[in-house]
Amino acid sequence: MRQRLAVSAAVSMTATAVLVVASKGEGVTTRSFSLDTVSELSAGTLDRVAVRSDGTVVLSRDLTRVAPAENVSSVWALLDLGDGTALAATGVDGAVYRIANGQATRYAETDALVITSLTRGDDGRVYAGSLPDGKLYRLDAPSNNRPGRAEVVAELPGVQHIWAVHYDRARRVVLCATGPEGKLFAVDPRAPRGSNATVLFDSEEPHLYAMTQGPSGEVFVGAGGGHALVYGVRNGVTRVVARVAGDEVKALVAVGDELWVAGNEFTEPPEAPRRSVAQGRAPSPGGSSGGRPRPGKGSVYRVRASGLSERYYYNPDGHITALEFDPAQRELYAALAVGGRVVAIGEDRLTRVAFDVDESAVSALALTGRGALFATSDSGAFYTVSRNAPQDAQWYSKALDAGVVARWGLVRWRGVGNLDWESRSGNSDTPDATWSPWAPLAASGTITSPGGRYVQVRARFGRDADSQIRAVTVFYLPENQRAVLTEVSASAAETKTGESRSATLRLAWKVENPDADALRYRLRYRADAESAWRPLLRNQDWLSTTSFDWPTDGVPEGWYRVEVEASDEASNYEDTAQRDRRESEPVLVDNTPPTVTLAGSGASVTGTVEDASSSVTRLEWSLDGAEWRPLRARDGVLDQRSEAFSVTLSGLTPGPHTVAVRAYDEAGNLGNASTRVTTR
């Protein structure tokens, strides 16, 4: 039973929750989270409820958690005994447990580090594969309240890991899929130890991880450690049945003449199990070894008798540890190594989350027998599945992210039955102690939790087996976010060299508008030495663009600052509208060009340039209409409003010549003059 929450962090409202927002320009209006698909409704926590493939939340079966008295780090396999009890293969002390009547007791003990797999012979004896010593054990039942004895039937040559065992009733041998040499052995438990193991198949892959047997007697093994291959072995003949994407085939199920295949892909190779591995770091059944630094990606394939392979399920967030087919429901159960879930996959390719528990990994399945249970790792436990409707089932949404602090509204749901709805809210992406406590909705269905960025809702099911949830909509009103001006600039319109400068200044600004509101801009200006602002626009003028051309020919010359105000009043109520202001750097208003005065005498021209408002920044001269050349001020530096200069003409042909001088001030205004001189 899941009591804690495993909610997703920082919900982005993509494929797992649809965020219905107002259209651009409508400002802050009521919005909603809409949860009405399988992925959306199963993205939170499912406590004894299931999400069907048609997107309906229904009551599941009641789960009872059974934990051994000893600390068990991992459960590798389950063996249904057919009488309502089951055996469990565990690590890290090589014990086998019996689960019966809500209790887990030691069935047998071995000297192995891990018991990886179990099978039962036609005489009822139980056989167990192990690692990392490659031993096959025959287990005795407990007696006198003491665990049964474990007899080593075979110690397979060159084998460190027996990954899977299966009893072949036709030949009365125990088949062992092994590593690291990728061999399939047949062990005759009746023959003397040391001469009872035969290699049926020696693959080119380092490990054979999974095994099952078809109705025709063909043995199917899944390989890994390089390529994810499925082999078929029969009467000494081996064939490649399928090759799927990934690095390993972890589980196989034969259904008639078809196969269901679990293939996993890992970004980093596994660490091989060793007996020296510490108790708390023993290999896990989540993959080939368990020393993986991160989860892999898992896929389930259906392989037809023709060899056609079709992918029916893909989980990019975690690999698959076990498969089991339910012939009554015609669906496949897949145990996930991440999230503590069992997924049911229909023949129509639709899936549902069948079970969801606290532990991080589900590692073994035995759901279709009388015992009906599954097991977990990263804390070894067993969950028995009742056929009765649960008494206190709950459906949790994941943490829903409004993006900003919001006020919560109505919870509207479609379905049948009487459900009790509650909510809680907070400002961290994962519910924790800083969140508000769970609180019932108001009689109207409105959330009573305080405003915040995140909200989570849950529904408590009664004992009505027909209760269902088909869709949930959560309404909210986000707090209005202010549009923020980040930059204001003012510059003269560009002109070509030699052209008169425009008296119009181009004002431009940048704004961050998180709510995508329709914005109104107001413009003001003031002289740099003054404090009073003057409007540039009339009150009835409505400016919504992020630039404005300011004609300054009627403005006294000098240095000015421009202020831009951004307001979202068009998109919000008057009492919630937000404004932001930002000033430009000082900008020069100077529309008067410099005055150039020239005097020429013989081969010499002298002159001055005067500007009323700003410094002279550039001087150039031209002789007889030729190219313009730089002209140095008499004191060597152009930095004053008044500058003197001179031009000495030499090497010219005798006669009249025209000398022209032009000057630019700081604002880019251009003044010029020319004179005629006669050289001899």
253 residue type, one letter: V
- pLDDT for 28: 62
- Out of 270-284, 287-301, 543-557, pick the least confident: 270-284
- pLDDT given at position 440: 97
Selected from 3.40.50.300, 3.30.413.10, 2.60.40.650, 1.10.3720.10, the CATH number assigned to the domain covering 595-679 reads 2.60.40.650
For residue 104 the two structure tokens come to 């887990």
pLDDT, the chain, mean: 88
- Tell me the per-residue pLDDT of 653-680, one tens digit each, with 9 for 90 and over: 888 999 999 999 988 889 999 999 988 8
Nearest partner of 88 among 73, 70, 101, 106, judged by Cα: 106
- pLDDT number for residue 623: 94
The highest-level CATH class for domain 484-589 is mainly beta
Higher pLDDT, 666 or 140: 140
Helix (H) or strand (E) holding 38: helix 38-41
Q: What's the one-letter identity of residue 217?
A: G
Residue 16: band (very low, low, confident or very high) from pLDDT cuts 50, 70, 90: very low
Confidence of residue 17 (pLDDT cuts 50, 70, 90): very low
Mean pLDDT on 577-597? 93
Q: Residue 500 has what pLDDT?
A: 61
Q: pLDDT tens digits for 172-222?
A: 999 999 999 999 999 999 999 989 999 999 999 999 999 999 999 999 999
CATH no. of 63-385: 2.130.10.10
Q: What is the pLDDT of residues 531-544, one digit of tens each?
A: 999 999 998 899 99
Q: Please give the average per-residue pLDDT across 280-305, as a whole number.
A: 66
pLDDT category of residue 5 using cuts at 50, 70 and 90: very low
CATH of domain 18-60+393-478: 2.60.120
C-alpha dihedral sign at 135, 140, 145, 146: negative
pLDDT given at position 336: 96
Residues of the chain with CATH 2.60.40.650: 595-679
Does the pLDDT at position 290 exceed 90?
no
Of 261, 353, 354, 267, whose CA–CA distance to 316 is shortest?
267
Residue 58 CB-density burial (10 A; 0-12 exposed, 13-18 middle, 19+ buried): buried
Determine contact, residues 381/359, Cβ cutoff 8 Å.
Answer: yes
- Check whether 339 has a pLDDT greater than 60: yes
What is the average per-residue pLDDT within 340-354? Answer: 88
Q: What is the pLDDT of residue 113?
A: 93
The pLDDT value given to residue 285: 58
Cβ burial of 115 (10 Å; 0-12, 13-18, 19+) is: buried
What is the token pair recorded at 470?
């088909």
Mean pLDDT of 452-477: 92
Domain limits, CATH 2.130.10.10, in the chain: 63-385
- Does pLDDT of 8 surpass 50? no
Give the 3-state DSSP-derived string for 250-301, with helices as H, strands as E and coil as C. Answer: EEEEEECCEEEEEEEECCCCCCCCCCCCCHHHCCCCCCCCCCCCCCCEEEEE
CA torsion sign for 91, 93, 98, 103 is negative
| Amino acid (one-letter) located at 381 | A
The residue behind tokens 């399928």 is 242
| Token representation of residue 505 | 């200044």
CB-count exposure of residue 199 (10 Å: 0-12, 13-18, 19+): middle
Average pLDDT (312-318) is: 93
Share of the chain above pLDDT 90, in %: 68
Q: Which residues contact 21 (CB under 8 A, 6 or more apart)?
A: 31
- What is the predicted pLDDT for the residue at 297? 94
Answer whether residue 293 shows pLDDT above 80: no
Residue bearing the bigger pLDDT, 465 or 547: 547
pLDDT (0 to 100) of residue 281: 38
Q: What confidence score (pLDDT) does residue 492 get?
A: 74
Give the residue with greater pLDDT, 203 vs 277: 203
Residue 7 pLDDT: 26
pLDDT tens column, 83-96: 999 999 998 789 99
Q: Answer yes or no: is pLDDT of 487 > 70.
A: yes
> Which pLDDT does position 497 carry in this prediction?
56
- The pair phi, psi for residue 290, each rounded to 5°, is 95, -10
Q: Does the pLDDT of residue 287 top 70, yes or no?
A: no
Q: Which pLDDT does position 499 carry in this prediction?
A: 59
**How many C-beta atoms lie closer than 10 Å to residue 480's C-beta?**
19
d(CA 589, CA 560): 7
Q: Where in the chain is the domain with CATH 2.60.120?
A: 18-60+393-478
Q: Quick one: pLDDT at residue 119?
A: 98
329: three-class secondary structure by DSSP = coil
Beta-carbon contacts of residue 551 (< 8 Å; ≥ 6 apart):
503, 504
User: Are 664 and 633 spatial neighbours (Cβ–Cβ below 8 Å)?
Assistant: no
The model's pLDDT over 52-76, given as tens digits with 9 standing for 90+, comes to 878 899 988 888 999 988 888 899 9
Contact assessment for residue 128 and residue 113, using Cβ atoms and an 8 Å cutoff: no
Reported as a single tens digit per residue, the pLDDT across 410-432 is 999 999 988 999 999 999 999 99
**Has residue 18 got a pLDDT over 60?**
no
List where CATH 2.60.40.10 sits in the chain: 484-589
Q: Are 350 and 64 in contact (CB under 8 A)?
A: no
Higher-confidence residue of 130 and 348: namely: 130
